[in-house]
Amino acid sequence: MSFSTLFIGGTGVQAHSDRMQVVANNIANVSTIGYKKGNALFGTLMSQNMASGGAQYESGANNVSQIGMGVAVSEIRTTFAEGPIESSTEFTDLAITGQGFFGVRSTTGSVSTGASHYTRAGNFRFNNDAYLTDPQDYRVQGYAIDRETGEVASSVSDVQLPYEDIVIDGQDVRVIRSEPLATSGLEMITTLDALTTDKFTSTTNPFFAMLEEYNALDTESDTPFGINSPSYSSSLNVYDEDGNERDLTIYFDPVATTTISNASPGYSYWEYLVTLPPEADGSSAYGSSSAGLAGLGVITFDGNGQLVNHSAFSLETTSAAGGKSLGSWTPSTFDDDGVPQLTFDFGSNGSTIGTSQSIAYDFGLSSSSGTWLSGAATAAGVGGNANSLQGLEDPDRETRATTSFNTGSATIYQDQNGYSWGYLENASVNREGILQGLFTNGQTEDFYTIAMYRFNSNWGLRRDGANNFLETEASGKALDGVALEGGRGTMAQNSLEMSNVDMAQEFAEMIITQRGFQANTKVITTADSLITTTLGIKR
């Protein structure tokens, strides 16, 4: 009786013992985030040629009989099938659907840039230094996005929120802010009551009668016009370079056609005056009766109440103190869209904030060419002659425009493009892996695109604990990229990929492994019994 049978049985016991350890590890990690199950695959050991039992063919070739020498675990292969996705309450919990790995970097290792480990477990959090990290404080890798230009970096770096330390009420506070944007354009669409009578009249300058009555030093009335109020006014908030909110008001009043000459038949004319709070005036007009004056003009409607022309004048800031003089008002310049714009020096208590700020104001009519037709050089040259009003060359009326009907005056729509300082209120990660911040000023900014990695062979990766893998020569170098690129999957926030272990399958594997282990122990005991019997023959 050969002792080899004992050793063959021993290899079977050892192999099934290793397989049971793999099964046990799978079951132990059935709830582990991002865990990928392992499969123990067996392979035969060497075989021994037998001296007998062979056969010889007519060709002279011999068929040699062989007897196996046992079994061993040939490979423990990781199964990278996608696990089920479960919802979570944190937006920093990320899951990859499809191919790809997150890249994280250990700050204590030798890797100074780029990922040092790779994982499918996306249970990330922002630490005290605003780095996006995993439970081991490894930093998630991504491509930084320039907040101003939107340009994406060409290489990966640690994902970190762009915080800054500021002093508020004498205390150092860490915040993430969105810088303010000064208003450069506004849109105000109104309907003006065609039945309203002229509240301000002037025999010499009927188109600018409101300017004659304007007095910024009048603090006893609700408007800077004393006891008399314009027919209609509408206000909205605009912002200076420091993000200060300012209340811009546009006053409207009809011009009686009986006071003007060369009025087009059936046409109606409305004068308007654009003002800002007198205390917000940073020009030489601060503290004078003309403080807060920003723009004036005339809008013209045809017999159907449709806006057909617009004459706009801006106050030269160098002569702002003389804003009550019509000679200080010249035809407005245009923005890139052909909309007239005013120029105003914002200030605080007389001190100028930034530089002169241009604000285009759109009533729904613009000049396609961005030029004026001939007209008076200044508002003083208009007088009561409608033909002296400069007009828009190549006027382009939008679908939504100011009108004048026999109904009450009302503001239909108004908006402006500036905003104040904003503080990070929330953040999110979209399916492309872009980390975005939502601020209290209503702005959304892109911070990073979270990197996603692929390998030529996932099966060459080596486990490193804590749900992480390491690249090896067998896996090939990590190939960095982004979601939806090069066969990579997508990302889902408020989600976690769970273990891909199938409990039913593992229990079946466990039973089979147990039976195999028992059968091999039976081989050992049987072989031992045979050897004992053989030795007993001698006695």
How far apart, in whole angstroms, are the C-alpha atoms of residue 155 and residue 143? 6
The token pair that represents 489 in the structure block:
């999957």
Phi, psi (deg, nearest 5) at residue 238:
-125, 170
Q: Provide the pLDDT for residue 67.
A: 85
In 485-507, which positions are buried (b, 16+ CB within 10 angstroms) versus exposed (e)?
eeebbbbbbbbbbbbbbeeeebe
- For residue 442, the one-letter residue type is G
How far apart, in whole angstroms, are the C-alpha atoms of residue 298 and residue 363? 11
Measure Cα distances from 234 to 229, 267, 415 in Å: 13, 23, 12
Cβ contacts of 155 within 8 Å, gap of 6 or more: 113, 114, 143
**Domain layout of the chain by residue ranges:** 4-56+63-81+500-538, 85-179+423-497, 185-416
How far apart, in whole angstroms, are the C-alpha atoms of residue 23 and residue 27? 6
- Nearest residue to 267 (alpha-carbon basis) of 324, 309, 234, 237: 309
Q: Would you write out the chain's pLDDT as a tens digit for each of its 539 residues?
A: 567 888 898 999 999 999 999 999 999 999 999 999 999 999 999 888 776 656 666 665 666 778 888 999 999 999 999 999 999 999 999 999 999 999 999 998 778 889 999 999 999 999 999 999 999 999 999 999 999 899 999 999 999 999 998 888 888 888 999 999 999 999 999 999 999 999 999 999 999 999 999 999 988 888 899 888 999 999 999 999 999 999 999 999 999 999 999 999 999 999 999 999 999 999 889 989 999 999 999 999 999 999 999 999 998 766 666 889 999 999 999 999 999 999 999 998 778 888 899 999 999 999 999 999 988 999 999 999 999 999 999 999 999 999 999 999 999 999 999 999 999 999 999 999 999 999 999 999 999 999 999 999 999 999 999 999 999 999 999 999 999 999 999 999 999 999 999 999 999 999 999 999 999 999 989 888 888 888 888 66
- Nearest residue to 367 (alpha-carbon basis) of 401, 337, 333, 398: 337
**Whether the Cβ atoms of residue 331 and residue 390 lie closer than 8 Å to each other:** yes
CA contacts within 13 A on the Cβ side of 307 = 26
How far apart, in whole angstroms, are the C-alpha atoms of residue 272 and residue 409? 14
Taking residue 512's Cβ as centre, other Cβ atoms within 10 Å add up to: 13
Which DSSP helix (H) or strand (E) runs through 312?
A: strand 307-315
- Nearest residue to 302 (alpha-carbon basis) of 266, 257, 252: 266
**Whether the Cβ atoms of residue 327 and residue 378 lie closer than 8 Å to each other:** yes
The token pair that represents 76 in the structure block:
């423990």
410-412-418 Cα angle (round to 5):
115
Q: Provide the pLDDT for residue 176.
A: 94
Dihedral angle over CA of 371, 375, 378, 382, nearest 10: -140
Q: Provide the pLDDT for residue 527.
A: 84
Residue tagged 């020498």 (tokens): 69
Q: Which fold has domain 185-416?
A: Tick-borne Encephalitis virus Glycoprotein; domain 1 (2.60.98)
How far apart, in whole angstroms, are the C-alpha atoms of residue 341 and residue 366? 11
